[in-house]
Amino acid sequence: MISDIILYKIKDPRVQGITITEVRMAADLKSATVYFSSLADGRSLVHQQGLEAASGFIRRQLRQEVDLKYIPALSFVYDESFDNFARIDRLLKQLDEPEGKA
């Protein structure tokens, strides 16, 4: 749902090209951590700033779509797992290369 709001309703170029990878709700449902990824463009800080600037708008949209007593406060965190997978893949490919080609 958050990804649809970002994709279709936010026009800020800082949030273009991101993917929501996970949302973790607090036990009391009053806060949520939203993990996002981007296409390895090195602009994770810019994306995070755009998401934080749009958090109030996202919460208002959620209020219209979700029937909850509290709409959670949102915090955004860059999900580094895809970067880590790419780094591991690169290292494994280097190990697989013949010694003379390194």
User: What domains sit in the chain, N to C, each tagged with a CATH number?
Assistant: 2-101 (3.30.300.20)
- What is residue 91's predicted lDDT score, i.e. its pLDDT? 80
Contact 16, 3 (CB under 8 A): no
Instruction: Please state, in angstroms and as integers, the Cα–Cα distance from residue 11 to each residue in 5, 21, 43, 49, 66, following that order.
Output: 10, 20, 17, 14, 22
pTM of the model: 0.77
Q: What is the mean pLDDT of each run of 10 residues along the chain (102 residues)?
A: 92 91 93 88 85 95 89 92 74 74 55
**Burial class of residue 31, CB neighbours in 10 A (0-12, 13-18, 19+):** middle
- pLDDT of amino acid 17: 86
CA distance 11 to 30: 27
Please tell me the predicted confidence (pLDDT) of residue 101.
58
CA dist 67 and 101 (Å) reads: 59
Q: Give dist(CA 82, CA 26) in Å, integer.
A: 24
**pLDDT on residue 57:** 96
